[in-house]
Structure 1
Amino acid sequence: MKVSEALASRRSVRGFLDKPVDPNVLRRVLTLAGRAPSGGNLQPWHVAVVTGRPLAALVDAVAARIAAGAAEPAEYAVYPANLPEPYRSRRFAVGEEMYGHLGIPREDRAARLAWFAANYRFFGAPVGLFVHTPRFMGPPQWADLGIWLQSVMLLLREEGLDSCPQEAWAMWPRSVRAHVPIPEEHILYAGMSIGWADPAAPANRTRAERAPIEETTTFLGF
């Protein structure tokens, strides 16, 4: 698979088949992803990969906390407050498209919240991944984490696998730490669902639009 094909076919999958992932494939992907660039070669990513009983225990624990109405202090704000245009409209549009495929109207807040909770079941994926980094790392190193995550997602596509990066997991840091060895001196940056996309899952019909380069890019000297 060409890089262009992997990038064009990559999407945030929110419905997975009950099919295991070969650990040797994951090791190969994560080894290659380690070649992702980072400023000063710091390689600020630390990773935990979870499946089987440990994954089920984590998912069940968070589900119980959600059902009890519990909450935890998030590691960071996923979105800026009072998000301005055009960013607000982009976020709104992809959400409405997904809920449209799911048949959940905007006024059905309970159903939307119930669907959002599927984040914490990894959308049924057989593998969950967490990436964390020391708290003293700054915005440049957080950018490195994004580069690493993109590398992982493209390599997964090369293997025929799909994924969904999930900053939503930053909202349950204590529960994650109770099941995953993430030091307190590290910040939980994101989770990721990994597995085989379920073609019958309605949410997987979502195809987020991208802004044209005329809207985002300036060329000088050409």
Structure 2
Amino acid sequence: MEFSEVVARRHSVRDFTDQPVDRQDLVEIVRTAQKAPSWANSQPWRVRIATGQTLARIKELHAARVASGEQGHTEFPVMPRTEWSTAAQANMADLFNQISVHFADEPESFGASQGLLFNAQAIVYLTIPVGSSLWSIHDLGAFSALIALAAFDRGLGAINAYELVKYPDIVREVMGIGEEETLAIGLALGHPAGNPLGDFAPTRQDVEDILTIAE
């Protein structure tokens, strides 16, 4: 598939089928992501992927926490939406408007899919060393973007979401992540379900609204 088509068609998938993700696909997706730009070639990222019974255990523990009403406590700090820029808040409001329209027939399905970890058949967890430079966070963003694009190129869907690292202690325990690493990002992978959760692709701002070219 042409790169421009991969970028244009990729979107966050919020529900997956029960079909497992091939192990070699996971290896090749990470191999592709390793081409991401990195400050001084530091390559700060480390990758752990949960599948099968390991992922089933994470889902079980996560669902119990959700059912208990426990609040999330991710290791990257979360800023209240009211403190984001005016433009960012407008974009988020637009997203929620699109969600309300797209899921008008099943309004509860959007939130429910998060507690189920989107029925992902693989979850990629990305860490960086504790105390990393902000440039390492920049690198991690580039690396995670390439994972999502590489997954789509191989016929898979992906979503990086707060929910996936909402209870980091669960992931740390099951995946054996030490205290010297910060659990930063989770990406759910799988074969997209043919339903509104699998198909929903919110619009983006026009390029004219974000671009300035000085000549």
Further displaced range: 2-11 or 202-211: 202-211
Runs of 4+ residues over 4 Å off in structure 1: none
- Give the SS at the match of 1:61: helix
Partner of 1:89: 90
Partner of 2:99: 98
Kindly provide the CA deviation profile for residues 127-163 of structure 1, in whole angstroms up to 9, marking residues without a partner as x.
1111111121122111100100111111111111110
Q: 1:33 to 1:25 in 2, by over 3 A?
A: same
Matched, 1:186 2:181: yes
In 2: Cα distance, 1:102 partner to 1:125 partner: 20
Partner of 2:138: 143
Equivalent pairs: percent with the same residue?
Answer: 28
Kindly provide the CA deviation profile for residues 81-110 of structure 1, in whole angstroms up to 9, marking residues without a partner as x.
5223111111122123224322379xx8xx
- Consecutive unaligned residues of structure 2, counting only runs of 5 or more, are none
Tell me if structure 2 keeps the 8 A contact 1:123–1:193. yes
Kindly provide the CA deviation profile for residues 35-75 of structure 1, in whole angstroms up to 9, marking residues without a partner as x.
21100111111111011111011110111122122335331
Aligned-residue RMSD, C-alpha: 2.0
Equivalent residue in structure 1 for 2:169, among 167, 174, 185:
174
Q: 1:210 to 1:71 in 2, by over 3 A?
A: closer
What residue identity is the alignment partner of 2:90?
A: S
TM-score by length of 1: 0.88
Q: Please list, as runs of the form range in 1=range in 2, the aligned pairs for 1:33-112 lying within 5 A after superposition.
A: 33-71=33-71, 73-79=73-79, 81=81, 82-103=83-104, 111=108
**Number of matched pairs:** 214
In 2: Cα distance, 1:73 partner to 1:157 partner: 29
Further displaced range: 176-185 or 8-17: 176-185
Matched, 1:215 2:215: no
TM-score by length of 2: 0.91
Q: 1:73 to 1:205 in 2, by over 3 A?
A: closer
Tell me if structure 2 keeps the 8 A contact 1:168–1:190. no
